[in-house]
Amino acid sequence: MISDGFGRSFRTLRISLLDRCNFACTYCVDRETSDFGLKKTDLLKTEEWIRIVKGLHSALDLKKVRLTGGEPTLYPGLKILVREIKNLNIPEVSITTNGSVLSKQIEELKEAGLDSVNISLDGLTQESFQTMSRRSAFKQTLNGIDAAVSTGLKVRINCTLVRGKNEDQIIPILEYSWSKGILPRFLELMKMGYLQNSDTVPVFKQDEILDRVERRFGTLTPQVRKESSTANYWTTQEGNSFGIIANESAPFCRDCDRLRLDSKGNLYGCLSSSTGFPLPKLMEQGIEMEQILTLALRQKQDVRFKGSDLTMMAIGG
């Protein structure tokens, strides 16, 4: 097994299928507009992705592949890709999506073998939703959530908190999620893209989230963290659970098992690195996969994320 001095290897692969999105979320891009016009020539073909994943799986025995973006539901071969990855006998295939067009695809994705879906929802009013996403697709996203739940797939809601913009949505997101039987998670803002060198990154921290939840629901019971989990979880007195991905407050680098590919097939062992290994080119040159992965593993930080000039849209977070 390829591993480093902390015993870390790669068990989870995240693929950013495209670096375009139909949203322009405030924590991802610093402008009102977001390029999402797609040309097929801009995208790696499904057969190329399968060749890459097959090579990585042979070397790593992957346990999970998550398809992200940009917005993965805009990738024209998504259903085929899900099916072919499942055919590689990888136990879990999931997607992270803004949900805006999910209702039109979710049944086919489940039939193809999709196991779970994470849906980003940063506000539960039209105003808060539009403030965060810079789009008016609130109802479409809610429809996508309902459609995903109706299929019986495992569904989680991810809410990225930005101080001064949507921390007032914590309780509404919890109550909405629990009413749907969904596990909600809150994400601390990460220093990526245009935020990397900002002097005032508006992070709403884990302790502040917990304080708000406790004031509304009483004493919380922490759950035992699973190895390599990005999130810490708590349970309320009523038995409802929620998670916090506290990249700043509670770093999880020491047992991180994630490997990432951007939409060009560049390989990253850590979000803190802005330099990827051009995997398709290296594979064509006959470079041993183990050698490439060993180099990628060296990119991992010992303790915490250092920041990156890559955007969430480019690498999927």
User: Phi/psi class of residue 61: alpha, beta or left (left: φ > 0; alpha: ψ in -120 to 50)?
Assistant: left
Q: Is residue 28 part of a domain?
A: yes
Q: Tell me the per-residue pLDDT of 204-218, one tens digit each, with 9 for 90 and over.
A: 999 999 999 999 999
Name the residue with higher pLDDT: 224 or 302: 224
Q: Is residue 310 part of a domain?
A: no
What confidence tier does 1 reach under pLDDT thresholds 50, 70, 90? confident
pLDDT at 33: 59
What confidence tier does 47 reach under pLDDT thresholds 50, 70, 90? very high
What confidence tier does 34 reach under pLDDT thresholds 50, 70, 90? low
Average pLDDT of the residues in 266-291: 93
Tokens of residue 178, six digits: 């629990």
What confidence tier does 316 reach under pLDDT thresholds 50, 70, 90? confident
Tokens of residue 37, six digits: 């016009």
Taking the C-alpha atoms of residue 173 and residue 126, their distance in angstroms, rounded to an integer, is 13
- Helix H or strand E encompassing 62: none
What confidence tier does 57 reach under pLDDT thresholds 50, 70, 90? very high
Q: Tell me the per-residue pLDDT of 225-245, one tens digit each, with 9 for 90 and over.
A: 998 899 999 999 999 999 999
pLDDT at 41: 57
Taking the C-alpha atoms of residue 308 and residue 316, their distance in angstroms, rounded to an integer, is 12
Q: Is residue 132 part of a domain?
A: yes
Q: Is residue 119 part of a domain?
A: yes
What confidence tier does 67 reach under pLDDT thresholds 50, 70, 90? very high
Q: What is the CATH number of the domain that holds 245?
A: 3.20.20.70
Q: Which domain holds residue 91?
A: 12-298
Examine the pLDDT at 294 and tell me if it is beyond 90. yes
What confidence tier does 274 reach under pLDDT thresholds 50, 70, 90? confident
The torsion angle over the Cα atoms of residues 297, 299, 304 and 310, rounded to 10 degrees, is -120
pLDDT at 29: 85
15 close to 68: Cβ distance less than 8 angstroms: yes
20 close to 70: Cβ distance less than 8 angstroms: yes
Q: Is residue 225 part of a domain?
A: yes
Q: Is residue 131 part of a domain?
A: yes
What confidence tier does 200 reach under pLDDT thresholds 50, 70, 90? confident
Query: Could you give the number of structural domains in the chain?
Result: 1
